[in-house]
Amino acid sequence: MAVPADPPDGTPEGIGGGDEEFRREDYEYEYRSVVFDEDFVRAARLQEFSAEERVGEHARAVRSRSLWSGGGTARPGNGTPSRSARQGLLLVLLIALAFSSAVYLGLRNPAAPVPDTRTEPLTSTVVPLAPTVPVPGGQPADLYANSPAADFRVGAAGIAMPAVRRTRHFTDGQVVTALSIAKDYLVQSSLDPDVLAGTATRPVRVLVDPDQLDQFDRSMASPSGDGRHAATGWLVRFDPGTAVVADSRVRVSGNLAFDEVSPDELEVTTDHTFVYAVRPATGAPSAADGASLFTVRRELRLRFDREDLASRRAELLSAHVMAGPQSCSTEPAEGFRPLLAGAGPTTVGPAASDPYASGHPRRSTGLCGVLAPAATPVSPAG
């Protein structure tokens, strides 16, 4: 057998070097180790049809292999792509789908703002209301019956919940949670006997957002009328050396309202009037005609994010408080110092402020107001 390099009739005589370059033994030795394994054959771009396939009419001698096959073969007889071919095509489709989705979402929301989760500090205004007439005294029940608080409800019953509806981004259940936390805050900060006496702050503190606790603690430890650290901005309490609550059945009236201020925050506003029967801190608790009424109107703005709702706490953003009768010369930031039964008017201040007139604009200037005569109970003796 001639090797591919030999002429058809063999090597002509007289031509040297043929034995050295094209020796049969070297050729056979060189290519003996070349093995065309199955993977190599299947990876060929052209593949010959079987004899049976070539018998068919208009059949081609060879078939071209698909670029998507990845070296696999078609199933004999039907030309169906192999599993590796299908996997390759599926991978390309998935990549195209992911890219299209990314482009679509980027066009729909190119730069979604990061929500601002910073908690604002409380700002508070506490306005003492000075009387223009002597403070009437009497038994608590008689004083209530002869005052604008005669029809007020007692305690937490006076803090009524509004009709609830879902907002765009909060369910009705989440709205109910926000309102219930706001009501709890009002109850603990305005009606708890220990809080009113100035002997406890924890019932209120546990409802305050953790980011406001430093401000709250400073307000309790070192109250100041600087608009940020008045204890009476956070809660109602009386100076224990001046007055104590004579009747635990505090009269309450007001309303709650809510609104969605951002996709992640609900805001609840409260406007309530609390009427307390108080008596002097010293003296017989059951002394006849020793009690008088002290009225506090609190307008609060509380905010809740989703974490606040889950933890049942509130961010108290603002508090506007009017309270009287008090003297304009006293500092109400630490605790209220009521003018008690029989005390006469001590000042004539700016335009009168009626804490019962919740529909009227509130006083926002100055540090002292005048208690409207209509807010003073009629003396039972009169």
**Beta-bridge partners for 125:** 320
Q: Does residue 148 have a cis bond before it (omega within 30 degrees)?
A: no
| CA gap 382, 377 in Å, rounded | 11
Counting DSSP H helices and E strands in the chain, the numbers are: 12, 10
- What is the residue-level pLDDT of the chain in tens, covering all 382 positions? 555 555 555 555 555 555 555 455 555 555 555 565 666 556 555 556 566 666 666 556 555 555 444 444 555 555 555 666 677 788 888 888 888 887 777 666 555 455 556 788 999 999 999 998 999 999 999 999 999 999 999 999 999 999 999 999 999 999 999 999 999 999 999 999 999 999 999 999 999 999 999 999 999 999 998 999 999 999 999 999 999 999 999 999 999 999 999 999 999 999 999 999 999 998 765 554 689 999 999 999 999 999 999 999 999 999 999 999 999 888 899 999 999 998 887 655 555 667 777 655 454 445 788 888 778 787 655 5
Residue 129 to residue 374: CA distance in whole angstroms: 13
Q: How far apart are CA 49 and CA 20, in angstroms?
A: 41
Supply the pLDDT for residue 354. Answer: 72
Amino acid 68: pLDDT: 47
**Residue 328, pLDDT score:** 87
Helical spans, DSSP H, in 191-329 = 193-197, 202-205, 213-221, 231-234, 306-311
Q: Where are the alpha helices (DSSP H) in 67-226?
A: 83-108, 140-145, 172-190, 193-197, 202-205, 213-221
Q: Which two tokens stand for residue 54?
A: 């070539």
Query: Which one, of 374, 375, 226, lies nearest residue 296 by Cα?
Result: 375
The neighbouring-strand residues paired with 274 are 252, 296
What pLDDT, on a 0 to 100 scale, did the predictor assign at position 97? 86
Which residues lie below 8 Å from residue 264, measured CB to CB, with a gap of 6+? Answer: 115, 117, 169, 305, 306
What is the pTM assigned to this prediction?
Answer: 0.67
pLDDT at 290: 85
* pLDDT for 368: 84
Residue of 279, 326, 297 lying closest to 143 (CA atoms): 279
